[in-house]
Structure 1
Amino acid sequence: MNEVKSAKFNNSYIIAISFISALGGYLFGFDFAVIAGALPFLKTMFDLTPLQEGFLTGSLALGCIAGTLIAGSVAEKYGRKPALMSAALIFALSSLGMAFSGSLPVFIAMRFAAGIGVGMASVLSPMYIAEISPASVRGRNVSINQLTIVIGILITNLVNYLLADSGVDAWRWMFGLGVIPSVLFFAGVFWLPESPRWLLKNNKGEASKKVLLKIGNEAYASSVTNDINASLVNVKKQSWRALLDKAVFPALAVGIGLAVFQQLCGINIIFNYASTIFASVGAGIDQQLLGTVGIGVVNLAFTLLAMWQVDKLGRRPLMLIGSIGLTVLYIVLALALKAQLSTAWVAVFVFLAIGMYATSLAPVTWVLISEIFPNKVRGMATSVAVVFLWIGYFVLTFTFPILIEAMGSTYSPFILYAGICLVGFLFVKMKVKETKGRTLEEVEQVMAGH
């Protein structure tokens, strides 16, 4: 059943702890965006071939895969809070490592290490927020994680633009400044409570109740405690094999499908290779970096719109609109690039695609992945889905320079991405169920077909 009508919430506290946890998303956004500004400098510094360029860009994703797998185990064994602190520490050290890299292998190793921190945060932040949020505002709160991602992207793009004229070592400052949000995140996590669902699962009922009473009133705490306990009846310590159980696997398959689609839809080509796209129509370095700033502004504006709508329109309609919208916009963008329209026109179509993604696939995929898995395996299942997300990201970013070289143009890959978005539309239409307004325990029943 839905949350009891007598339940009341401490909204300011819920939003505060959601934002602190979501600083992990800021780290995600930083490392995601910093490469776009640094890439022109790195190409010169390391004399990159298309293969090296793709691997350097995609090496973050390989680290993210490792971090995602680590996150699930650490979060289940030690709790969500210690795992978040570990992610922040890894990210701080790797940011300094990239800044002081003296060779391509060292830089790639440090970017891989950064990926471990990003991968951990990409699992832990939305999962933590989902577990501490009442059902009626869970979609909005999990979307805070996406909001901090896009704020990280925008601020990083602005900093990159401001640093662009500071000399050949500008890229070192671009990466090194990542230590600042990392330290802030690490400090903020000290203040966070542990997830009440993790506490109950580990026989810490009193501690769980204290957290729930900070989030809501007695009626809310009692209702949530009963729902969680009911979902954990006869649950033993789970192995990875539990993910193949017939009550779990349908949700896992949907989660993996959504994760892969969010990446192979192609939008991260624009985020990571914006300078390459704008350069293909004659834009100079300043125009390229200014274009990335515009991408960040549009991304932020439309993410705020998505946060307002995700608990109103629902998850499924937004995913359907986004996938079919990107199908059309990619075809238009490909035609614009082929016709060598002005940088301004190309920027318009790029911004429209970013806006479409930011209101749909970007936040809603993370919301759904944080919601659809059963309590007993949420950490492991979330990790598996996000591993596939990062595999998709690696395949996408690694292949783009190679596709450009093989196809002989910048526009051709976008026709391929349009086809993927059309397939994604059909997948969402057939497989994704609406979850808005339901408790996590109710979603578990829906995904199991009950």
Structure 2
Amino acid sequence: MGERAEEKAAGHRAPDGDHATGATATRGFTRRAVLAGGLAGGVGAAAGFVGGRATVGGEVQGVGAAATGGLAYPFRGDHQQGVTTPAQQQMHLTAFDVTARDRSSLIDLLTAWTRAAENLTAGLPVDSMRVSKSAPPDDTGEAFDLGASGLTITIGFGKTLFRDSQGLDRFGLADRLPAPLAEDIPRMAAEKIDAARSGGDLVVQACAEDPLVALHAIHNLTRIAFGWATVRWTQLGYGRTSSTGPGQATPRNLFGFRDGTASLRGDQDELLRDFVWVGDGDDAADWMAGGTYLCARKIRMTMEVWDELPLRDQENAVGRDKISGAPLSGGDEFSAPDFTARSTGGSPAIPEASHLALMHPTRNAGVHMLRRGYNYTDGSDELGRLDAGLFFIAFVRDPRRHFTPLLARMQFDLLTEYLQHLTNSVFAIPPGLRDGQTYIGQQLLETATG
């Protein structure tokens, strides 16, 4: 590291002690308590992780603990947090363009980010805080009283980090570009892609139960990045539109329907292995094994038009009952859809062009995605219509096999008339931070030969 980087990174030391793997959570301390009692006391509170579940006072609790400020998930593990972690209610996702000129500086940035992220997700400040009133504090402070609030920070790499839009191999990484990341997502109907709000060299996804905690994370990581990277675009999301944790109720989207009933959950290990986590035999497995790919699209929903549709037309477009979420073939929300069932008039009970009929795994060679999307609202347009919709996020093992084919089918479903795709991004999410490692992406950057 350079002298400047060492000075910056020294203020972002990761908590000491053992780190468990998995989506584990603890409660019991806040940033204010850490500041009052010293960093070491907060670290001690952060050390007691029990695999896989939220804990309160050492006892396993249900998902209700996710609404409390003290909920914290461990940063280290085989996979990065924020993928199979039970979906939180708030998201702040930001893409960055790297301005650093060499690989050493890129490593400095990722090292500083990783140290800060490990502290923040444990409910600690970015640093133990400088006490001198003649220097700026290391933590901006807006979340001191809010605890970890279930914060997760996920870091990924875009295609242009390997070779930029001018074809330059800035960091000697061009020969390490994974094939699934190299291929662009084909254009589809009903899209008006804004290139300036798509892609990027790096991405940071911050999710939490409190919007200020997520903003605080992005605020501080952006501040740390000064001189190394600049913000390309950012997106706020609220109200999860998927359920990734066991016991989470299926949420509703802005059309009023339950969303993501058949999507993957974080406890379906076999399906996660097949469709989410990069395997040892996959492309770029030497540094991506245990990682995944984040596919994101901003989709505006024309709610004013949708709202005037008869209920029957709304349900036929989706393929489900609006109130119960059950497939139109009958049963309850989680009943398997019967695509052979007929209505009283003899037509298919679930219309062939409905979203359910076209997108259900049984109609797509069993392919699953782990969805982790959010609602968004960007105010109203000049005609007074809500500028709102879905910020769609899916984590998949290979976008070419597990995302692009489904997206291609989606353009033919009845919902397309009421949607417009505005942005398109794909990022490689490296595996989690293992013991002895100091930054996310270390497998890539320390084995590159360029």
- Name the TM-score, length of structure 1 as normaliser: 0.27
Higher relative contact order at CA 8 Å, sep ≥6: structure 1 or structure 2?
1
Structure with higher strand content: 2
Structure with higher helix content: 1
